[in-house]
Amino acid sequence: RTVLCMGRRQEPVEDVPCGNTVALVGLDQVIAKTATLTGENDEGVHVLRQMKFSVSPVVRVAVECKVASDLPKLVDGLKRLSKSDPMVQCTIEETGEHIIAGAGELHLEICLKDLQEEYMGGAEIKVGNPVVSFRETVTEKSCRVVMSKSPNKHNRLYLEARPLEEGLPEAIDDGRVGPRDDPKARSKILSEEFGWDKETAKKIRCFGPDTTGPNMVVDACKGVQYLSEIKDSVVAAFQWASKEGVICDENMRGVSFELNDVVLHTDAIHRGGGQIIPTARRAMYAGVLTAVPRLMEPVYLVEIQAPEQALGGIYSVLNQKRGMVIEEMQRVGTPIYNVKAYLPVVESFGFTAVLRAATSGQAFPQS
């Protein structure tokens, strides 16, 4: 069924010419988040690329029902919320907790209101304290090649970890460099823009986490027997390790693992996934620990408008919240100043209220 949204009303229509925005009824059961609809006999059509956002869902809260019998409503409501908002992420942790991730405090507040009132029919929910997602990275190349033995002691993996070049993780996030690219085109970009050796660039085996993340495995082995047989196991271990890092189980970012050498048992039964996956994961963790690991925290770019007499209060609050001012400029012909600053997301909760109190309501922040 095709309908046109006319304000608060919906008008059914038989057909719609090109260039109009319409609503299609009855597709919500088969579309997870985004999709491209085509005619049954259309050939040569392409899937539209997903939207890219300037912000990421870095703030998470756990939600649960106050009444256990409302659990089916919560599960269904989370599915509908995930479909209605292209940015929000709804997941279930290993502990069974239902997690909603959004761009910030206000975004989550709106999502929770919609979940409770629109998608759960007013059923009461309990919301946990907001938690900020961090990322794990390395700052130097591993100080030595690390080695890990398999549980049966018949296989060994040797690898190193190193940080990706500046700008490369962003290029992967933006889709300029990715697993679906032609290897020749990808190696050309890596060699020209990021200084990679062309032969090394052709040996990228996978990206992660979730096959598209800003980490990678590079196969630097030469003349190793049976290497192709353990490729899937190494990839699985990498996806696991990059999803749950060694420092605090957060996603990795900007890490390249170079597999230097592999010693494998000649008998296939002794080099199965049960032997290789935990071995490769342990080696990757060791590689990170020998490469000066660091935690990365998300930051907001905050823009604050205020008169000159309120600047002292703004700087005081930013110092309390670990903020860093990057620009202060007066608007021409007005007494208003524009202050731009970086503010850690973990310190942003309640920032607006504190800022208004410190400046007597004269400052207006945007992030």
Amino acid at 343: L
Three-point CA angle 204, 145, 248, nearest 5°: 75
Residues 167, 265, single domain; the answer is yes
Does residue 50 lie within any of the structural domains? no
Q: What is the CATH number of the domain that holds 122?
A: 3.30.70.870
Residues 284, 142, single domain; the answer is yes
> What 3-state DSSP class applies to 124?
coil
Angle between helices 311-320 and 351-358 (to 10 degrees): 140
- Contact in structure between 344 and 334 (CB atoms under 8 Å): no
Pairing of strands 135-138, 89-92: unpaired
Residue 92: strand pairing partners: 98
Residues 254, 311, single domain; the answer is no
Q: What pLDDT is stored for residue 294 in this prediction?
A: 92
Residues 283, 314, single domain; the answer is no
Does residue 45 lie within any of the structural domains? no
Residues 146, 67, single domain; the answer is no
Residues 27, 114, single domain; the answer is no
Beta carbons within 10 angstroms of residue 153's beta carbon? 10
Residues 239, 289, single domain; the answer is yes
Written as six digits, the tokens of 32 are 């997870």
Q: Cα(33)–Cα(139) distance, rounded to whole angstroms? A: 36
Residues 18, 78, single domain; the answer is no
Does residue 158 lie within any of the structural domains? yes
- Contact in structure between 246 and 206 (CB atoms under 8 Å): no
Q: What pLDDT is stored for residue 54 in this prediction?
A: 67
Q: What pLDDT is stored for residue 289 in this prediction?
A: 93
Residues 158, 245, single domain; the answer is yes
Helix, strand, coil percentages in the chain from 3-state DSSP, rounded to 5 = 30, 30, 40
Cα dihedral across residues 160, 161, 167, 172: positive or negative: positive
* Structural domain harbouring 147: 137-295
Does residue 167 lie within any of the structural domains? yes
Q: What pLDDT is stored for residue 285 in this prediction?
A: 94
Task: Examine the fold and report which residue of 132, 165, 182 is the final residue of a domain before the chain moves on.
Answer: 132
Token pair 């970890």 in the structure block, residue? 161
Does residue 42 lie within any of the structural domains? no
Q: What is the CATH number of the domain that holds 318?
A: 3.30.70.240
Residues 28, 77, single domain; the answer is no
Q: What is the CATH number of the domain that holds 145?
A: 3.30.230.10
| Cα 95 to Cα 91, 122, 248, 250, distances in angstroms | 11, 26, 16, 16
Pairing of strands 215-219, 131-132: unpaired
Total number of domains in the chain: 4
Residues 217, 277, single domain; the answer is yes
- Contact in structure between 169 and 175 (CB atoms under 8 Å): no
Task: Examine the fold and report which residue of 132, 162, 187 is the final residue of a domain before the chain moves on.
Answer: 132
- Contact in structure between 273 and 233 (CB atoms under 8 Å): yes
Task: Examine the fold and report which residue of 260, 280, 295 is the final residue of a domain before the chain moves on.
Answer: 295
Does residue 54 lie within any of the structural domains? no
Does residue 324 lie within any of the structural domains? yes
The pLDDT tens digits along the chain (367 residues) read: 788 888 778 888 888 888 888 888 877 777 777 788 887 777 778 877 777 776 778 888 999 988 888 888 988 888 888 888 888 888 888 788 899 998 888 889 999 998 888 888 888 889 888 888 899 999 999 999 999 998 888 889 999 999 999 988 988 888 888 888 888 888 888 888 888 888 888 888 889 888 888 999 998 888 788 888 888 899 999 999 999 999 988 889 999 999 988 888 888 888 888 888 999 999 999 999 999 999 999 898 999 898 888 888 889 999 999 989 998 888 888 888 899 999 998 888 888 888 888 888 888 887 7
Residues 220, 159, single domain; the answer is yes
Does residue 52 lie within any of the structural domains? no
Q: What pLDDT is stored for residue 258 in this prediction?
A: 92
Q: Cα(194)–Cα(187) distance, rounded to whole angstroms? A: 10
Q: What pLDDT is stored for residue 146 in this prediction?
A: 92
